[in-house]
């Protein structure tokens, strides 16, 4: 029987930074001896449907591309796009997915070898439910719709209760199902703070979305601790949605370095030193930071970032690792660029993607959209620089000149 994995999101915070990755040194391939490689049972892409949910036909069109690049799981954050029924009907949007269409999409994904992982909100990120008058009384704080009060019996009905009850229920209904828990609330805990049901019936997801995750020593200490508490550890990166709440396009440099740093870390501590087992990597793609926040990068505009980082993961899982950060450009030229051009149907692309991604010579489905959004992003940068200290008259002139040039 296929193992279905359920995610519990216990309050997810998104960080953004411009810190650049340190140098890393790795074992070199010697003679014909095969090099060590990163072992990952799962490579999962997160589909955040908050705010700008793609059509199911579009999501289905992405399955072959993701399959080609090693993805074998989809983490789906439905929120109000799920076709709720009964007393939960009020939670769904007017344009929520139809039950029959969603079933067809999930069936197609599962038949293609993708593990379907529903993300279930627990205490935090409950705005999609608590914004409705029918559920205001369940708020932890009446003024804020993000957190639910777990002491109400109605909260248990709305959620299948909270963590302990949910894990036990899932295990009763489906013994082969694995429950994953986002680790926000556990980072300061010690093994003695956990009860046995967590240790035996759940696995932890440790996330960091920066170009260089916070201090390596701290990460290692945290994962070492989790190694004593959980049989398996997962890590979460971000291919979009972590560079600013109003970002138009992902910062490819930061997103690439985020994945590169994590893969280096997994390689050193999980592969060479074997201090713990990393079971899977989840490439998160947040659409907005909370239910009422503005949109950040939309999924179609983030396809280059997704593919770049999936290619990187494929290299590391095949035994091709970056030996020295001084060789980063050579590594990218030899192992990433050609694969990227092939996947995105690019010809004679002029610049390395870490500097700027030139989509003008690419012919993948979303390339025109990427180019348009790149022009819009450049326009915002132009105005930020030119208008910041300009007088009112100068502001009008600058705006007129830029519009005229654009036309």
Q: Residues 269-274: what's their mean pLDDT?
A: 81
Percent of the chain at pLDDT exceeding 90 = 40
Residue 186 to residue 321: CA distance in whole angstroms: 31
- Is pLDDT above 80 for 175? yes
Is the pLDDT confidence value at 242 over 90?
A: yes
Compare 265 and 19 and report the one with higher pLDDT.
Answer: 265
pLDDT digits (tens, 9 = 90+) for 117-147: 988 776 556 665 666 677 666 666 566 665 6
What is the band of 223 on the pLDDT scale with cuts at 50, 70, 90?
Answer: confident
pLDDT for res 220: 79
Higher pLDDT, 190 or 208: 208
Kindly state whether residue 401 falls inside one of the protein's structural domains. Answer: no
Residue 21, pLDDT score? 32
**CA distance readout (Å), 236 to 44, 46, 314:** 9, 10, 16
Q: What integer is the mean pLDDT of 152-169?
A: 63
Alpha helices in 93-236 (DSSP H): 99-111, 127-130, 153-159, 163-173, 196-201, 216-229
Partners of 141 in the β-ladder = 144
At 27-65, the pLDDT tens digits run: 334 444 467 899 999 999 999 998 789 999 999 999 999
Is position 156 within any domain? no
- Give the pLDDT of residue 356: 84
Q: How far, rounded to the nearest angstrom, does the alpha carbon of residue 242 sit from its chain's CA centroid?
A: 9
Q: What is the pLDDT of residue 30?
A: 41
The CATH number for 321's domain is: 3.20.20
DSSP reduced 3-state for 119: strand
- 245 in a structural domain: yes
Task: State the pLDDT at residue 294.
Answer: 84
Residue 93 within a domain: yes
What span, in angstroms and rounded, lies between the C-alpha atoms of 366 and 301?
A: 7
User: With the CA atoms of 285, 290, 292 and 293 taken in that order, what torsion angle do they form, in degrees rounded to the nearest 10?
Assistant: -60
- What integer best gives the mean pLDDT of the chain? 79
Q: What is the pLDDT of residue 278?
A: 92
Instruction: Summarize the confidence of residues 301-321 as an average pLDDT.
Output: 96
Residue 8 has pLDDT above 50, yes or no: no
**Number of C-beta neighbours around residue 216 at 10 A:** 15
Q: Is residue 376 part of a domain?
A: no
Q: Residue 187 pLDDT more than 80?
A: no
Give dist(CA 168, CA 220) in Å, integer.
30
Predicted local confidence at residue 239, as pLDDT: 98
- Global pTM? 0.81
pLDDT of residue 24: 34
- What local confidence, expressed as pLDDT, does residue 194 receive? 60
pLDDT (0 to 100) of residue 250: 95
- Give me the number of domains the chain comprises: 1
Average pLDDT rounded to a whole number, residues 209-214: 76
Higher pLDDT, 76 or 405: 76
Q: Which residue has the higher pLDDT, 133 or 347?
A: 347
Residue ranges making up the domain that contains 175: 5-122+162-365
Residue 176 lies in a domain: yes
Burial state string for 320-353 with b = 16 or more CB within 10 A and e = fewer than 16 = ebbeebeebeebbeebbbebbeebbebeebeeeb
**Is the predicted pLDDT of residue 342 greater than 50, yes or no?**
yes
Residue 377 forms part of a structural domain: no
pLDDT at site 31? 41
| Cβ neighbour number for residue 60 with a 10 Å cutoff | 17
Domain contains 75: yes
pLDDT at 259: 96
């Amino acid at each position: 029987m296929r193992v279905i994995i359920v995610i519990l999101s216990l309050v997810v915070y998104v960080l953004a930074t411009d810190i650049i990755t340190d140098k890393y040194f790795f074992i070199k391939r010697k003679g014909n001896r095969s090099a060590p490689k990163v072992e990952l049972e799962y490579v999962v892409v997160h589909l955040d449907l908050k705010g700008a949910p793609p059509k199911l036909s579009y999501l289905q069109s992405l399955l072959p591309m993701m399959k080609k690049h090693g993805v074998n799981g989809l983490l789906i954050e439905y929120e109000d796009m799920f076709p709720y029924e009964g007393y939960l009907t009020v939670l769904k949007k007017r344009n929520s997915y139809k039950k029959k269409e969603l079933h067809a999409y999930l069936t197609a994904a599962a038949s293609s070898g993708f593990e379907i992982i529903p993300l279930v909100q627990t205490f935090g990120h409950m705005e999609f439910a608590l914004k409705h008058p029918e559920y205001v009384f369940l708020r932890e704080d009446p003024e804020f719709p993000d957190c639910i009060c777990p002491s109400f019996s109605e909260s248990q009905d709305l959620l299948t209760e909270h963590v302990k009850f949910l894990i036990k229920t899932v295990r009763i209904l489906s013994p082969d199902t694995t429950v994953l828990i986002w680790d926000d609330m556990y980072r300061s805990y010690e093994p003695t703070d956990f009860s046995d049901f967590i240790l035996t019936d759940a696995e932890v997801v440790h996330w960091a979305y920066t170009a260089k995750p916070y201090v390596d020593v701290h990460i290692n200490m945290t994962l070492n601790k989790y190694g004593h508490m959980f049989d398996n550890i997962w890590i979460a990166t971000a291919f979009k949605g972590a560079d600013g709440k109003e970002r138009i396009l992902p910062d490819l440099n930061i997103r690439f370095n985020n994945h590169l740093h994590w893969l280096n870390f997994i390689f050193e501590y999980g592969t060479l030193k074997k201090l713990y087992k990393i079971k899977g990597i989840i490439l998160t793609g947040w659409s907005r930071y909370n239910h009422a926040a503005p949109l950040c990068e939309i999924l179609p505009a983030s396809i280059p970032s997704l593919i770049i980082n999936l290619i990187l993961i494929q290299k590391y899982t095949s035994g091709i690792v970056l030996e020295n950060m001084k060789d980063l450009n050579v590594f990218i030229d030899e192992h990433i660029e050609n694969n990227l051009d092939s996947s995105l149907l690019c010809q004679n692309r002029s610049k390395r993607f870490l500097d700027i991604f030139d989509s003008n010579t690419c012919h993948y489905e979303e390339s025109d959209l990427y180019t348009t959004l790149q022009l819009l992003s450049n326009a915002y940068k132009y105005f930020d620089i030119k208008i910041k200290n300009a007088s009112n008259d100068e502001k009008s002139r600058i705006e007129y000149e830029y519009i005229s040039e654009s036309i």
